[in-house]
Amino acid sequence: LIGHELYHDIVLESEWQWKDLADIARMVLVLLIASIPVAMPTVITVTNSLGAQALAKKKAIVSRLEAIEELAGVDILCSDKTGTLTKNILTLGDPILFDAKSADELILAGALASEKGSEDAIDKAVREGVKDPKSLDAYTVNKFVPFDPVGKRTESDVTDAQGKAIRYTKGAPQVIIDLSGLDADGAAKANQTVADLAAGGLRALGIAESDDDGKSWRFLGILAMLDPPRDDSKETIQFAKEHGLRVKMVTGDDVAIGSQISGQLGMGTHLVAAADMFTKDMDMSHLPEQMCENVDRADGFGRVFPEHKYGIVHALQDRGHVVAMTGDGVNDAPALKQADCGIAVSGATDAARAAAALILTAPGLSTVIDAIDESRRIFERIINYVLFRVAMTLDIMFVVVLATIFF
């Protein structure tokens, strides 16, 4: 009987302890839920809205509020060269003649392969280089094919004063050289000329003509063009480095030209030709580990096609980076969408703006860096609020739990 009573007391004591633990568990659950600040969604939304207003004053328009948090975490920025790192104000240098009889003939051919009234920097520079603008009136443009980022050239079908049909084309030197079918010596000379110009930081523009409906082309020569870096680019790059942000140049120009400009701005000279790195049959969404590592190590990329931008972003993301990518064309939309923060630069197409999280209304890299810096300050405000509210709630929880245990 005594043993039975003792067992009964032990069971009652055990049941009382489990019931007590259940009460404590329920209280902890209530306090845990109460520890989450009720006003946090409202505070975050209001803070992001005020931040978006501040970014708009810095010429950066946020397409969605979540982009501010994504922009704050960016550690690698892939930036275009022309118009972002450089002034995009081209001036003609000394023309290099091949089949053209004179510099005026070469420049005139380039002007006829440019769109009349276009605001494109290359077209404007070439047309302004014609000594006698009235000479262009002697030609009638029947058809004009604008610049294609894949084909990398323009083409125009014109008729001269005698009624003769002629086609002119201008574009990337490698494309025009291949189109013209130069012999080994001529191609070697042209490629060496392009390399020499690139070593001096000059862009090269190939010019060719055809009088048989484009069946065969005659390589007229190369126009040298200078696009100097923006005055604030070097200082902006240094500011970005001090804030732990790596900037990689992404340009469609030759690697030598990109390396020259990149070296002047302190971004490094290890540029890789994207056209050689990414093959046509390669799946950009599943790149080899070694290629991702090479992309991460590179200071920038030259001879970039739009589809290469997508591959570059994907490779950097596979390496654990938060990537921002700038772009302006329709073909840049996939890369802007894939990037953690796609940035449509000033003058971008509607497709690029629709895919981007941040839209710039002013040229230059400083606008992007200012936007990243401002977004980090906004994110810090949110983090500070959350930490403050959680800390205050934990203080209350500590007092309540201590009082419960004591009483």
Task: Give the active site residues.
Answer: 80
SS3 of 111, please? Answer: helix
Residue 83: exposure state from Cβ atoms within 10 A (0-12, 13-18, ≥19): buried
For tokens 């950097």, what's the residue? 316
Contact 210, 78 (CB under 8 A): no
Cβ neighbours around 108 below 10 Å, total = 25
Contact 179, 167 (CB under 8 A): no
> In whole angstroms, what is the distance from residue 356 CA to residue 326 CA?
9
The SS3 call for residue 364 is coil
Nearest-angstrom CA–CA distance, 387 and 393: 10
142 token code pair: 């029947």
The two tokens of residue 118 are 């276009």
C-alpha dihedral, 87 to 89 to 92 to 98, nearest 10°: 80
98 closest CA partner among 217, 189, 168? 189
Under a CB-based contact definition with an 8 Å cutoff, are residues 303 and 203 in contact? no
Which of 259, 261, 269, 305 minimizes the C-alpha distance to 82? 261
Residues 6+ apart with CB under 8 A from 208: 168, 169, 170, 176, 179, 180, 217, 218, 219, 220
Q: Which two tokens stand for residue 94?
A: 């000394």
The CA–CA distances, whole Å, from 171 to 84, 203, 321 equal 21, 11, 35
Length of the chain: 407
H helical segments located in 90-229: 103-112, 121-128, 173-180, 184-199
Beta bridge partners of 325: 78, 342
What whole-number distance in Å separates Cα of residue 383 and Cα of residue 224? 52
Query: Residue with structure tokens 């739009």?
Result: 306
